[in-house]
Amino acid sequence: AMRHAGRAAALLRRLNTADHTFERALGMSPAALAEYAEAAARIPAALQATALGQPQPVFDFILGPSSGERPISSQKNSHDERSNARFRSSGRIFV
């Protein structure tokens, strides 16, 4: 997992996002996502078991708006797109 996270992080850091479409869609820069991917690979996730045949989570965080927020794609040019991303894990929200 560390090798794959490291390779993905390197690619994310090299990603050219001059038009910021990728950042707006995720609510954070590719470099910030790279940091989260590397951290998630270093720290074993306490993931919940899933039923047979159902998708299984890989990382212990979810990209998306927190409860009650509009989807990121509908938000107008935010000055700090990173503030729109919330990382939920075990009922806790990390910004």
Amino acid at 80: D
CA–CA separation, 89 vs 1, rounded Å? Answer: 19
pTM above 0.85, yes or no: no
Q: Do the Cβ atoms of 5 and 37 come closer than 8 Å?
A: yes
- At residue 91, the pLDDT reads 40
CA–CA separation, 14 vs 22, rounded Å? Answer: 13
- Digit-by-digit pLDDT tens for the chain (95 residues) are 678 888 888 888 888 777 788 888 888 888 888 898 888 778 766 666 778 888 777 666 666 665 555 554 434 444 444 444 444 444 443 33
Alpha-carbon radius of gyration of the chain: 14
Q: Do the Cβ atoms of 72 and 64 come closer than 8 Å?
A: yes
CA–CA separation, 21 vs 92, rounded Å? Answer: 28
